[in-house]
Amino acid sequence: MLKKSFVFCLFLLAITTACNKKETLYKVVKVKDGDTIELLSPDHQNITVRLAEIDAPEKSQAFGQAAKQFTADLCFGKMVKLIGNTKDRYGRTVATIELENGTNVNYEIVKNGYAWQYLAYSHNNVELAGLEQNARESKLGLWHDLNPTPPWSFRRDEKTQRLNKPKVQSTKPKRHYRKRRKKLPEAVSF
């Protein structure tokens, strides 16, 4: 009987702990671009987050500033949940962000036409594909453009241009500097 009571108490304690466990909330302190934000953790650490499964236009690209503004309007200064914690090659956390009310920030950006589903990193996400298709058909955000350039193509083209750009030789004459000789201290005589 004592053993059953003890097990029952442990079970109740486990359920109570699980129900009372609060999810960690982070504050959005910076929006770098349409799909990259900076969070402040409860222990005051800055975390750069690349939003998973989506790709927004680059800042220098058409609709890049609009995507950044939409993301800022949606979540800047708000408390959010961080879902996922993988790292990309730049050391950023790749994750889904949810507002306290349950709104999926990643999905909202695509739904409103400010990002593509990033097919290279979003495998079989039918819901996200549907949100993008609806935005395309409704000509929302970047879909106003007849033929918008996906960010991965834009980045590739930018890189190709940088690599193919001929290096320009400087027309300034090279300056030659003479090495100064150090003066030796004069000998002291006794």
101 assigned to some structural domain: yes
Tens-binned pLDDT, residue by residue, of the chain (190 aa) = 656 555 454 554 555 444 444 679 999 999 999 999 999 999 999 999 999 999 999 999 999 999 999 999 999 999 999 999 899 999 999 999 999 999 999 999 999 999 999 998 988 899 999 999 999 999 999 999 989 999 999 999 888 888 887 766 666 666 666 666 666 666 666 5
Q: Which helix (H) or strand (E) holds 69?
A: helix 64-75
Contact 145, 170 (CB under 8 A): no
Q: Residue 142 carries which DSSP code?
A: G
Task: Report pLDDT digits (tens) over 148-160.
Answer: 999 999 999 888 8
Residues 6+ apart with CB under 8 A from 39: 26, 27, 28, 29, 46, 47, 49, 80, 82
104 assigned to some structural domain: yes
Which structural domain range is residue 76 located in? 21-146
84 assigned to some structural domain: yes
Phi and psi at 82, nearest 5°, equal: -105, 120
127 assigned to some structural domain: yes
CATH number of the domain encompassing residue 137? 2.40.50.90
Q: What is the pTM of this model?
A: 0.75
Contact 1, 19 (CB under 8 A): no
Number of compact structural domains in the chain? 1
What is d(CA 103, CA 97) in angstroms, rounded to the nearest whole number? 8
Residue 54, exposed/middle/buried by CB under 10 A (0-12, 13-18, 19+)? buried
132 assigned to some structural domain: yes
User: Where in the sequence numbering do the catalytic residues fall?
Assistant: 50, 58, 92
Contact 127, 107 (CB under 8 A): yes
